[in-house]
Amino acid sequence: DGPDFGTCPRKSTVAGGGTRSRQWWPCELNLAVLRQFSEKSNPFGSDFDYASAFSKIDVTQLKKDITAVQTTSQDWWPADFGNYGPFFIRLAWHNAGTYRAIDGRGGAGQGQQRFAPLNSWPDNANLDKARRLLWPIKQKYGAALSWADLFVFAGNTAMENMGFPTYGFGFGRVDTWQSDEGIYWGGEQEMFPEALNNVVRYNGSTDFTTRADELESPLGAVSMGLIYVDPRGPNGTPDTKASALDIRETFGRMGMDDEETVALIAGGHAFGKTHGAVAGSNIGPEPNAAGIELQGLGWKNSFGTGNADDAYTSGLEVIWSRTPTKWANEFLFSLLNNNFTLTKSPDGAPQWEALDANASYPDPFIPGKFRRPTMLTSDLGLRDDPIYNNISKTFLNDFDYFTEKFGLAWYKLLHRDMGPISRYLGPEIPKQAPLIWQDPLPAPAYTTLAASDVSSLKSQILAAPGLNISNLVTTAWGSASTFRISDKRGGANGARIALQPQASFAANNPTRLAAVIKALKGVQTKFQSSGKKVSLADLIVLGGAAAIEKAAKAAGVTVTVPFTPGRVDATQDQTDVSTFAFLQPQADGFRNFGHGTASSLTEELLVDKAALLTLSPPELTVLIGGFRALSANFDGSSTGILTSRPGTLTNDFFVNLLGSYATWSVVNGTNEELFQSTNSAGKVQWTASRADLIFGSHPELRAISEVYGSSDGQSKFVTDFIAAWSKVMDLDRYDVK
Ligand code: HEB
C-alpha cells in the first residue's frame, strides 16, 4: 500500500502548520525551486569544496572498507549468499536510474535517495537497509566522501569484487541536503497505481501495446514510484513483448540505445535475486510514513524473521543465475535456454519458471538447497522482442563482447549526469578519450588573453557590420543558457551554438544567429591572421560583454563586464545531435521566446529555466529587466521592451511596469500570452508577455522589482545585472572553478 495522499489529519499549529497560501491559491507561481539548496540547509556551508575534501581519501583503503562491509553479513539484515554485492549494485542502479535525458534531472549526482520521495518509493524498497549498511563507511570518511559518491561506488566496487572488470570510476558527486523540488515525478496522487488507474502519465490511454511512447515528457518511468518499468509487465500484465516496448521507451529516455539497454539489464541481473518470499500484507509502511522509533527505516516485515529467507522487497521471488555473486553469462544462458511458464510468486505476482529444468540455482541461505530457473516478465522482454533477442544472442555467444558493452553502459549509467569530465575526481578516471555522451571538448589553445587583446577584440566586435547590442546579447545568452545544472550539460564552452542542432533552435532565431556567427568568425580570422588565437566560444561571450558595456555607457555608467577566457570550440563530430536536441527550450522568457502549455505556463517555464541556471529570484528578476533594456528578444520584437531608449542599460522596465496603473489588458486571440497597455489617450503604449507581466503581478517578484525600480535602484540594477549575467556565462566553466 502506498502513502495516504492529501493533508495530514493532525492539525499542527506551529512550525509551518495551518492552512498555507499554497493551499488557498494552489495555482500561484511557485518560486521555491529557486530557493532550494541554499547555504542555510547545508551544514558544510557554501564555501565547502568537495574536491579538496575528497583529495584526502585513500581510494585503495576505501575499497577495502567497502569489500569488508560487502562480505560481512549482519544479523539485522542478513546478506543473500553472504554477499551484499548484488544489493549494492541495485542501490547504485536505482540512484543513477532516475536520470532522464529530456531535462537532465534525476540521477545519482546529488545523493537524493536519502530524501523523500525517493527514500520511500515502492521501487526503492529495502534500499534503506543498503544505505544503512554503508553508514560505517560514510561515518569513517565524513565530509571527504559524499553519500552520492558512496552509493554508486559501493555498487561499482561490489561488481569488481564479484569478478567484473569495470571501465573506470569518477568521484565528484556533491551531496544536496533536501529533496530536489524541481523534479517533476508525475501528476498521480497514488504510488505505483494498479492496472487501469495508471493512465495519468499516458494521457488517459490504457492500451499498453501502443501507448509506450505516449509517456508524458519529461518522465522516465512507466509509473509513479518506479525507476523504469514494471517487472511484472505493463500494469502487472505478464505481456513480455509489451514489456519490451516499455523498456525501450524508458531506457531510451535515459539516453540508452538497444544494445546498451540489453547490456544493462542482462548485466545487472547476472547478479543477485529478487525478494518476495511472503505475502505483501506483512509489510509495514515505507520510511517516510513509518513510526519515529523506526529511525528512518521502513517496510518492516512482520513475517517470520522479517528478513533473509522471509524477505519481501518487490514481491517477486526470482533467481536468475547459478552463480549470483560471480560475473558470468548465466543470466542470458538461462533466458535463452529454458522454457518459461507463467507462475505466481508467493505474493501472487506474475513471474516465470522453467518447470522442466533441473533445480540448480542456489538458495541464498540454505546450502545444498536449489531452485529452478526463474525470470521476470521484463526479463523475458529481452527474449521476445526481436531486436533485443538478437542482441541477447550476440552477448550470449560472445562473453567478452558482452563484458565490454556492459562495462561501457554501466559507466555511462553512473556518470551520465556528471557533466564535463573535468568534474571527475579520483584515481580511476579512464585514461581513454572521452566518450560522445560526455560532450567532449578539445584541449584549450590558450588559457588567457592579453588585456589589450580583450579590449581590442571588443571594439572590433562592436565595429563589425551586422553586430549590435541586441543580437550580441541574444547570441551570448543562447550559447550560455543551454547549461542545465541537472546534468551539467550545455553552456557556452564549445561554441556548440554554431553547430547542429543548436544552430537550428527556433529560440536562437537561426537566420539572425548565422549572420552573427559569420560576423564573429570574421573578427576571429582577422585576429588569428596576426598570429594570435581566440576561440569562437570566447568571442561569443565577449560579444555579449562588449554589448552590455556599450549599453551601460549609453546609460552614463562605465563598467567592465567580467570575462573568463579559455573556452574552446567543439566540432560537429564531438556533438551528440540527438541528445543535444533535448537542450532546445520550448520557451525562453529571457528572450521572450515561445510560450507555455496548459500544464506549464510561460512563467512556470521561465522559473524552470531559471532553476536549471541556478538563479535566485533576484537574479531572475534583474536579468529580465536587463534583457528588456537591451532589447534582447529573440526576434527583435518590442514585446516587454518597456522603455523609450532600448539599448541603454536602464531600470526603465521596472519603472514603467510598476508605474502602470490599470492599463494592461489581454490581446484578443493570444490565449492570454500577449498583453497591451494603453496610455491616457487610449493609445497602445506597450505590449508584454506573461514572462514580463509576472514581475508586476506575483507578490514576491513585484517586491524585488520594486527594489530595482526605485529612484535609488539604477546603480544596483546595473551591478546586479552584470553579476547575474557573468554567472550564467561561466556556469559551465568547471575547467577554471
Ligand atoms: Fe533489476 C533486482 C527489476 C534493470 C540490477 N530488479 C531487481 C528486482 C526487480 C528488478 C523486481 C528485485 C528486487 C528485490 O529485491 O525484490 N531491474 C528490474 C527491472 C529492470 C531492471 C524491471 C528494467 C527492465 N536491474 C536492472 C538494471 C540493473 C539491475 C539495469 C543494473 C545494471 N536488479 C539488479 C540487481 C538486482 C536487481 C543487481 C539484485 C538485487 C539483490 O540481489 O538484492
Each residue of 644-674: pLDDT tens digit?
A: 999 999 999 999 999 988 789 999 999 999 9
The DSSP secondary structure of 670-718, one letter per residue, reads: STTSEEEEE-TTS-EEEEEEHHHHHHHHSHHHHHHHHHHHSTT-HHHHH
Residue 249 parent element (H or E): helix 240-253
For residue 511, how many other CB atoms are within 10 A of its CB? 7
Inter-residue contact 93 to 104 (CB < 8 Å): no
Rg of the Cα atoms in the chain: 28
Which residues are CB-contacts of 6 (< 8 A; sequence separation ≥ 6)? 189
* H/E element, 362: strand 361-362
196 has pLDDT over 90: no
pLDDT attached to residue 640: 98
The CB of 316 under 6 Å from ligand 1? The reply is yes
Asked if pLDDT for residue 1 goes beyond 60, the answer is no
Q: pLDDT class for 700, splitting at 50, 70, 90?
A: very high
Which contiguous run of DSSP H or E holds residue 183? none
- 248 pocket-lining for ligand 1 (C-beta < 6 Å): no
Is the CB of residue 234 below 6 angstroms from any atom belonging to ligand 1? no
Cα 282–Cα 288–Cα 292 angle in degrees, nearest 5: 85
Which of 94, 275, 595, 698 does the annotation list as catalytic? 94
Contact 575, 566 (CB under 8 A): no
Q: Please indicate whether residue 109, judged by its CB atom, sits closer than 6 Å to ligand 1.
A: no
Average per-residue pLDDT in the chain?
A: 96
| 0.90 surpassed by complex ipTM | yes
pLDDT given at position 193: 85
Task: Tell me how far apart the alpha carbons of residues 254 and 553 are, in angstroms, rounded to a whole number.
Answer: 47
Would you say the CB of residue 469 lies under 6 angstroms from ligand 1?
A: no
362 bridge partner residues: 370
Task: Give the residue whose CA is nearest to atom 35 of ligand 1.
Answer: 90
Q: For 23-40, how does the pLDDT look when each residue is reduced to its tens digit (9 = 90+)? A: 899 999 999 999 999 999
Does residue 271 have its Cβ closer than 6 Å to ligand 1?
Answer: yes
pLDDT band at 598 (very low <50, low <70, confident <90, very high): confident
The residue whose C-alpha atom lies closest to atom 38 belonging to ligand 1 is: 86
- Among 88, 94, 257, 274, the mutation site with the greatest number of ligand 1 atoms within 8 A of its Cβ is 274
Is residue 417 within 8 Å of 108, Cβ to Cβ? Answer: yes
> Is pLDDT at 198 greater than 80 in this prediction?
yes
Whole-number Å distance between alpha carbons of 227 and 630: 44
User: Of all atoms in ligand 1, which is nearest to the CA of residue 317?
Assistant: 16
Alpha-carbon torsion (277, 282, 288, 290), positive or negative = negative
Alpha-carbon distance 216 to 187, whole Å? Answer: 10
588 CA to centre of ligand 1 in angstroms: 39
User: Distance between alpha carbon 247 and the CA centroid of its chain, in Å?
Assistant: 19
User: Is 94 assigned a catalytic role?
Assistant: yes
Is the pLDDT score of 3 beyond 70?
no
User: Taking residues 114-123, what's their average pLDDT?
Assistant: 97
Quick: pLDDT tens for 458-512: 999 999 999 999 999 999 999 999 999 999 999 999 999 999 999 999 999 999 9
Atom 19 of ligand 1, nearest CA residue = 231
Supply the DSSP string of 63-82, one letter for each residue.
Answer: HHHHHHHHTS-BTTBPPGGG
pLDDT at 195 over 80: no
Integer Cα distance of 72 and 76 in angstroms: 12
Partners of 674 in beta bridges: 689
Indicate which atom in ligand 1 lies nearest the CA of residue 312.
16
**Residue range 320-332, pLDDT digits in tens:** 999 999 999 999 9
| Distance from Cα 270 to the centre of ligand 1, integer Å | 10
Q: Which residues contact 106 (CB under 8 A, 6 or more apart)?
A: 97, 98, 99, 100, 183, 220, 417, 486
Q: Residue 200 Cα, ligand 1 centroid: separation in angstroms? A: 25
At 2, is the pLDDT very low, low, confident or very high (cuts 50, 70, 90)? low
Output the residue whose Cα is nearest ligand 1's atom 26.
265
Place of cell 549482519: 74
- Residue of the CA atom closest to atom 28 of ligand 1: 268
Best mutation site among 269, 310, 318 for ligand 1 pocket (most ligand atoms within 8 Å of CB): 269
Is 469 in contact with 630 (CB distance < 8 Å)?
yes
C-beta 331 within 6 A of ligand 1: no
- Closest ligand 1 atom to Cα of 410: 32
Residue 198: which of 234, 238, 241 has the closest Cα?
234
Per-residue pLDDT tens over the stretch 128-179: 999 999 999 999 999 999 999 999 999 999 999 999 999 999 999 999 999 9
Are the beta carbons of 109 and 418 closer than 8 angstroms? yes
